Amino acid sequence: MATVAPARSKSAPRIHRITVDEYDRIGDSGALEHPHRIELIDGYLVDRMPKNPGRSYSCTEALAAVGTRLPSGWFPRAEQPIRIPDFDEPEPDISILREPRSEYRRRHPAPADVAMLIEVSDSSLAQDRGIKRTVYARAGIAVYWIINLVERQVEVYSRPTKDGRYRSRKDFKPGQLVPIAIEGRELPPIPVDDLLP
């Protein structure tokens, strides 16, 4: 008895990449069931990772530690969108933004408003080291930290290139201090141990 093979598709499924403007319109329309659980990365809707207690602790401690060290004219913000035209609207764990805060009443911050971004990573480590790092470098974000809970270190990326790379990466382990610089101004460093659960 002969068997019949299933029909094969002659073409791959078409995937639609959306712009930041389209994403914002979809969000404003209420069409997204859980908009607080996704972000737009490279034109695609990406699930945000849930926070376990350790990750939540590190986010809170990093926000407090960085916030108390910022010079006048800058402020920290947690888990809010950064608009990176044309295809990205990530929601980093912490953003260091230029004052005044009222500037963001009717618009999301753009890369020119950002001094530094921080992601706290456990299950999201591959994404934070991969596509997000590329997006942030391509946008010209001067300093990007990954508080890496898997390997218990803080990774500091700087000197971005337009092709989506950072020319410098320095890792800081427990017992070490992480330096902070905002627009070239050195600030008091933070002990790595203060940032890890």
Q: Is residue 44 part of a domain?
A: no
pLDDT for position 26: 80
Asked whether residue 177 is assigned to any structural domain, the reply reads: yes
What pLDDT, on a 0 to 100 scale, did the predictor assign at position 39?
Answer: 83
In a domain, 181, yes or no: yes
Residue 7: what are its φ and ψ, rounded to 5°? Answer: -65, 140
Q: Is residue 36 part of a domain?
A: no
Task: Judge whether 20 lies within some domain.
Answer: no
Is residue 158 packed enough to be buried (19+ CB in 10 Å), middle (13-18) or exposed (0-12)?
Answer: middle
Q: What are phi and psi of 39, to 5 degrees?
A: -145, 160
Rounded Cα–Cα distance for residues 62 and 66 (Å): 6
Residue closest to 124 by CA, chosen among 188, 79, 161, 180: 79
10 in a domain, yes or no? no
Is residue 152 a contact partner of residue 173, using CB atoms and an 8 Å limit?
Answer: yes
Q: What is the pLDDT along the chain (197 residues), one digit of tens a residue?
A: 455 555 555 677 777 788 888 888 887 777 776 667 788 888 888 888 778 899 999 999 999 999 999 999 999 999 999 999 889 899 999 999 999 999 999 999 999 999 999 999 999 999 999 999 999 999 999 999 999 999 999 999 999 999 999 999 999 999 999 999 998 899 999 999 999 99
Q: What is the CATH number of the domain that holds 177?
A: 3.90.1570.10
For the stretch 109-129, what's the b/e string if a residue is b when 16 or more beta carbons lie within 10 angstroms of its beta carbon?
bebebbbbbbbbbbebbebbb
The answer to whether residue 173 sits within a structural domain is yes
The domain containing residue 153 runs over which residues?
49-194
Q: How many domains does the chain have?
A: 1
